[in-house]
């Protein structure tokens, strides 16, 4: 299953970091994918053992290339070819963003009213005071 040369966009798609290969190539082109501190073009060939940094807002994830693969595979098999080595302090930022991110509203309720907004703000102020 291991290949001699694999393009970075193909590998990112194969190990399921991106949903489509064209999306992986687009993100490489935008400069959201780095190897070391250099932006990676979609056509760059990968080597085993490299660390790839992928910007997925609000953080930059780090992936270790365990093995090269050119074919897309199931998620259970993909873990044998990639390892997430994102530092814990960066993952903490992600957890904070999820905790204080979007408000959860049931479908069909529409936008919050002025009264709803006041209640949401009041609840957030109470939570902020408890954390201090």
Q: Find all residues with CB under 8 Å of 111, minimum gap 6, and list them.
A: none
What pLDDT score does 60 carry? 92
Retrieve residue 5's tokens: 């040369």
Q: pLDDT, tens digit, for every residue of 23-44? A: 999 999 999 999 988 999 999 9
What pLDDT score does 116 carry? 84
CATH code for 1-132?
A: 3.10.290.10
Retrieve residue 126's tokens: 């109470």
C-beta neighbour count of 104 within 10 angstroms? 5
Retrieve residue 91's tokens: 């993952």
What pLDDT score does 8 carry? 96
Predicted confidence band of residue 97 (pLDDT cuts 50, 70, 90): low
């Amino acid at each position: 299953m291991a290949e001699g040369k694999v393009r970075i966009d193909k590998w990112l798609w194969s190990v399921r970091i991106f949903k489509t290969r064209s999306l992986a190539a687009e993100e490489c082109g935008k400069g959201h994918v780095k190897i070391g501190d250099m932006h990676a073009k979609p056509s760059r060939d990968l080597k085993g053992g490299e660390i790839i940094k992928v910007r997925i807002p609000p953080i930059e994830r780090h992936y270790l290339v365990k093995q090269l693969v050119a074919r897309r595979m199931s998620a259970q098999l993909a873990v044998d070819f990639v390892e997430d080595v994102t530092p814990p302090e960066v993952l903490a930022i992600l957890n904070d963003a999820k905790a204080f991110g979007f408000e959860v509203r049931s479908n069909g309720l529409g936008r919050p009213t002025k009264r709803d907004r006041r209640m949401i703000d009041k609840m957030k102020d109470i939570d902020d005071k408890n954390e201090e």
